Structure 1
Amino acid sequence: MAREYSTIARRVPTVETQFRRIATEFPVPESIPILNRLHEYEPQAMRGQPPVIWDRAEGFQVFDRWGNRWLDWSSGVLITNAGHGRREIVEAIKRQADAHLLTSYCFPSESRARLVERLAGLLPEPLKKVFLLTTGSEAVECAIKLCRIHGQSSGRHVIVSFDNAFHGRTLGSQQAGGIPALKAWIGHLDPGFVQVPFPDGFRTEDSSFGGFTRALEQLSVAPQSVAGVILETYQGGSAAFAPVEYMQALRRWCTQNGALLVCDEVQAGFGRTGRLWGFEHYGVVPDLATFGKGISSSLPISAVAGRPEILDLPAAGSMTSTHTGNPLCCEAALASVDILMREDLTENARRVGAILHQQLEALKVRFPQIGAVAGKGLVAGLACVRPGTKEPDGDLAWTVVRRCVESGLLLFSPVGYGGATVKIAPPLVITEEAMREGLSVLADAFAEATGRTV
């Protein structure tokens, strides 16, 4: 169901706190001409965004030009791990721009060399080769390609993924995705893509690894036909993690059956979950991992990392991309990674994230409309349901998000599960004090949306 924000200004309660300020009508009357131009010249698919015209952003706050200020729990959709507008990142971009080298296409650059070396040095064995790309979807497409190239010699072609997974918006990544509505446009799906239940323990109650093997049997997929198994380290639409035992069994299954294990870390990587890499929570290392979003805390860049013998399968010149290793993006990523490591933002995500999840569990007790709390570190998802059921309530999630935005707290409801998840993902620089203020806003939004005051 499409949900759109109104572009008619209306009065909302005034807010003035340490981290938030709402001093105008919403949307801001002066912003409406901008919104109308967007509506006129952009497709209507873009109209589900909150009508907040960002003017600047710093740390974990976002400002418009009319005096309003938001506490950001979105990170620009999980991008700004090191915080918005970091001086070090801005200066790195400026230095590169001042050098008058804005692109080098597929010609080598020192920036590219420094970044792939830096990333390989942070990744565990055997993930020691890195291919830079532009978007998470592009990285996923590359991982699929590598899985199938690897499997060709032994007749393996099937890509196994999971229900409700989100891997991107391109043809291959959406076929790997597990949200039927997002790939209805394809018409003729590749039968070499299959999905099995994701073991979240809530919507899929059986979270044992036996569910994986049974699902393959029901789909008539022989283990020896599987080229790769790809999954988000946590599901983007819900923030749910698989059980540790399940993932360790999956790692063994892939090794025994000659399939590649791919962890989609586009959202989970770079400290987001309280570990540098999300897959560390499972005690496993995949054969391939995809990264994006938080890699630079700013400009578009992504990466595929993996075992050298896998990354080296395509012949020289056969796997390039126009903006591979763009020097501006590489310098931004290098600066962001330096901040992440120097300030130990992974530890801050773990510490402040523990407070977040403790308080969200308390919120779940107050509101039966919260069916489950998922996530780790500074990512969380609240599954909105109709009380006493597991039926997704996308209208409630949307209403909670809208009320939060009107009160100075930015968050969002991702695709998947009927849009019924309230997603929380602040920059990793957020403080405990700011987190607690945001939690108070969230609680008030649930109370207003559900009519409960307990």
Structure 2
Amino acid sequence: MSARSEPGLRAPQSRTEDSPAVSSAELHRRRGAAVARGVGSVIDSYVDTASGGTIVDVDGREWIDFAAGIAVTSVGNAAPRVVEAVRAQVERFTHTCFMVAPYESYVAVCEQLNALTPGTFAKRSALFNSGAEAVENAVKIARHATGRQAVVVFEHAYHGRTNLTMALTAKNMPYKHRFGPFAGEIHRVPMSYPLRDGGLSGAQAAARAIELVDKQVGAENVAALLIEPIQGEGGFVVPATGFLPALREWATAAGAVFVADEIQTGFCRTGDWFACDHEGVVPDLVTLAKGIAGGLPLAAVTGRAELMDAVHVGGLGGTYGGNPIACAAALASIATMRELDLAAAARRIGSVLADRLRAIAARDPRIAEVRGRGAMLAVELVRPGGLVPDPAAAGAVSAACHAAGLLTLTCGTYGNVLRFLPPLVISDDELARGLDILDAAFG
């Protein structure tokens, strides 16, 4: 059955006859005169409508969507539950600021997050606007609760674009270049990167990282150990089995707060509600955003009640954090994920994707590895015969996909990884058409 005929999904809505005619070329010209050059885009086409696994641009061209707004529109664009919830909320009120005049939907979102995230202990949540804000507030909470300052992060990590989160992020260009100085007391240690680890097991890679922390930082100084269970912008790096549990065990023994950055991996993307679920790892704090609210800006920190409640009243918040419209969208998105069982959908999509990617890899020596979990998969491209990164090849394949109407993204510290993040409501036909384009792009 096509995803468009399933409950909770809708076809793209076309422009009306009254809509002014506009082209991508004209919009691109206007953009050059109005938008700061530092804001980039993957393609030069401008969106008109989107639904399921497709985007239609203002020129009427259909794109198969393997990006989902960077793992945001997991429930699809303009998902009916989200649309109706947003419409109803806009008609009631658009903003009061929860810190001034609170409302029920903020509380309801926190209740949902406390129930969904790993761990059966008492939890609390606080809502923000973006993933970077969530990460920054998780660090604030960990430092306040422990009275310590050091934060341990990992090679290839990406955690945001604010001053603190740029310090937490590993990659210089384009995220950090000439934007310093950055916040201090950030300490970076090696990640488990199976393709490039020389055969280290998860336990061995964890021991390597822990030894550096113990010797160079001191366990007693660590407020937080912050990690993406599967790295996002860093290349969809999946750590070896046992790496995350060993770090979790060390953090407990050291009295450090274990923070899982599930901003890209959360909300069914990896085939579980959260990527930590795969190995049964229970974080102290979880940072959340992207897929949480069907495309509206919302983020959260959820964690142990004693940590979250350690911060004084007024120490957390923000004018727009937990905006009522975004909260309505989040409640509708979570309901859609449950109704359509999008965790199972992610596993199904991942199985189809992985089979096709492995078939391509079998004939193309540039693909060093197919990796990921659920509907969060990637291929790393190298020069044949070794592991020298080949960002030009990744860029060329992605450009060929764009020319044929498939929206894809690159990532990785070396820029040599093609990543695939289709909406979890993509139909079998849309997925197959996208994979045919990808297959042809590899030649």
Using the size of structure 1 for normalisation, the TM-score is 0.88
Distance 2:96 2:53 in 1: 30
1:147 is aligned to 2:139: no
The answer for the alignment partner of 1:214 in structure 2 is 208
Look up the SS of the partner of 1:46 in the other structure: coil
Supply the distance in 2 between the matched residues of 1:137 and 1:442 (Cα, whole angstroms): 32
Q: Secondary structure at the match of 1:142?
A: helix
* 1:356-381 superposed Cα distances (whole Å, 9 cap, x missing partner): 11221221111111111121100111
1:304 to 301, 306, 322: 301
Select the residue among 287, 292, 295 that pairs with 1:290: 287
AA in 2 matched with 1:126 = F
**Preserved contact between residue 126 and residue 317 of structure 2 (Cα < 8 Å):** no
Structure 1 residue aligned with 2:97? 104
Shift of 1:149: 1.3
Structure-1 residue corresponding to 2:4: none
Cα distance in structure 2, aligned partners of 1:127 and 1:408: 47
Deviation track 1:305-340 (CA, whole Å, cap 9, x = no partner) reads 000001011101121111121100000110010000
Deviation at 1:187, TM superposition (A): 3.6
Distance 1:190 1:207, change over 3 A: farther
In structure 1, the gaps of 5 or more residues are 1-18, 20-27, 448-454
Q: Kindly indicate whether the alpha-carbon contact (under 8 Å) linking 1:127 and 1:287 is maintained by their aligned counterparts in 2.
A: no
How far, CA to CA, are the matches of 2:308 and 2:268 in structure 1?
24
User: Compared with structure 1, are the counterparts of its residues 68 and 45 closer, same or farther at alpha carbon in structure 2 (3 Å cutoff)?
Assistant: same
One-letter amino acid of the counterpart of residue 26, structure 2: P
Which residue does 1:374 correspond to in 2? 371
1:95 — aligned with what? 88
Distance 1:149 1:212 in 2: 26
2:177 & 2:145 partners in 1: Cα distance? 29
Give the letter for the 2:143 counterpart. R
How far apart, CA to CA, are the structure 2 residues paired with 1:371 and 1:297?
34
Give the match for residue 46 of structure 1: 39
Of 63, 69, 72, the match for 2:56 = 63
What is the CA–CA distance in structure 1 between the aligned matches of 2:287 and 2:217, rounded to whole Å? 25
Whether the 8 Å CA contact 2:271–2:343 is kept in 1: the answer is yes
Work out the CA distance in 2 between the residues paired with 1:173 and 1:406.
34
1:230 equivalent in structure 2: 226
Change over 3 Å in CA distance of 1:190–1:104 after alignment to 2 = closer
Which of 240, 248, 253 lines up with 1:251 in the alignment?
A: 248
Kindly state the Cα deviation for residue 45 of structure 1 after the two structures are TM-superposed.
Answer: 2.3
Q: What is the aligned residue count?
A: 418
Question: What's the offset of the Cα at 1:163?
Answer: 0.6
Q: 1:185 to 1:151 in 2, by over 3 A?
A: farther
In the alignment, the residues of structure 1 paired with residue 55 and residue 376 of structure 2 have an alpha-carbon distance, to the nearest angstrom, of: 19
After superposition, residues 339-350 of structure 1 pair within 5 angstroms as: 339-350=336-347
Select which of 184, 187, 212 maps to 1:194. 187
Q: Report the equivalent of 1:423.
A: 419
TM-superposed CA distance for 1:65, in Å, is: 2.7
Say if 2:431 is the partner of 1:432: no
Per-residue displacement from partner, 1:59-110 (whole Å, max 9, x unpaired)? 1110113221111111011101111111111111111111133343422101
In 1: Cα distance, 2:410 partner to 2:309 partner = 39
- Are the equivalent residues in 2 in contact too, given 1:130–1:306 (CA < 8 A)? yes
2:229 maps to a residue whose letter is T
After superposition, the C-alpha distances for 1:9-40 in whole angstroms (9 at most, x for unaligned) are xxxxxxxxxx9xxxxxxxx9932121122122
> Which consecutive unaligned segments of at least 5 residues does structure 2 have?
1-11, 13-20
Equivalent residue for 2:72? 79
Question: Which SS does the other structure have where 1:132 is aligned?
Answer: strand
Alignment partner of 1:118: what SS? helix
Letter aligned with residue 179 of structure 1? K
Identity of aligned residues (%): 34
2:163 is the counterpart of 1:171: yes
1:257-294: CA deviation from partner (whole Å, max 9, x where unpaired): 11111110001111000001111012111000000010
- Change in Cα spacing, 1:208 to 1:348, as seen in structure 2 (3 Å) is closer
Residues 244 and 281 of structure 1 are in contact (CA less than 8 Å); yes or no, is this contact kept in structure 2? no
- The 4+ residue runs of structure 1 with deviation greater than 3 A are 100-103, 186-191, 207-219
Aligned partner of 2:133 among 138, 156, 176: 138
One-letter code of the match for 1:436? A
Contact 1:386 1:393 in 2 (8 A): yes
* Aligned partners of 1:71 and 1:408 also within 8 Å: yes
Please tell me whether the aligned partners of residues 200 and 207 of structure 1 are also in contact (alpha carbons under 8 angstroms). Answer: no
Paired residue type of 2:102:
P
In the TM superposition, residue 126 of structure 1 has moved relative to its aligned partner by 2.7
Residue 190 (structure 1) shift: 4.2
State the AA in 1 paired with 2:273.
Answer: L
